[in-house]
Amino acid sequence: MERQDVSDRQLEALLDRLDAVTRELERLNRRLEAQEGFLLVAKELRQLNESLSAIAYAALGQSGPHVRRRRTG
């Protein structure tokens, strides 16, 4: 394999591009982590809503609607 010399200017340009790619990956990772957090919060809110509905029906002396739910996660 033939070795090519790279000028300082080309090397700087390459390093700048690598830095930009690194920053973009870090940004994407932060966004993904936040999104995963929102999914957990949404799941907890859904479960809380179901619990509150059950409590409300119990307070009224009625049984809630019988709905078959799909299990997720």
pLDDT along the chain (73 residues), means of 10: 78 94 95 91 93 87 66 62
Q: Rounded to an integer, what distance in angstroms lies between the CA atom of residue 62 and that of residue 54? A: 9
Q: Tell me the residue length of the chain.
A: 73
**What local confidence, expressed as pLDDT, does residue 44 receive?**
94
Domain count, the chain: 1
Is residue 70 a part of any domain in this protein? yes
Q: Is 45 helix (H, G, I), strand (E, B) or coil?
A: helix
Domain that holds residue 31: 7-73
**What local confidence, expressed as pLDDT, does residue 70 receive?**
67
Is residue 2 a part of any domain in this protein? no
Is residue 71 a part of any domain in this protein? yes
Is residue 15 a part of any domain in this protein? yes
Q: Rounded to an integer, what distance in angstroms lies between the CA atom of residue 73 and that of residue 22? A: 32
Is residue 24 a part of any domain in this protein? yes
Angle at 29 between CA 36 and CA 31, to 5 degrees: 55
Query: Residue 6: CB partners within 8 Å, gap ≥ 6?
Result: 14
**What local confidence, expressed as pLDDT, does residue 42 receive?**
92
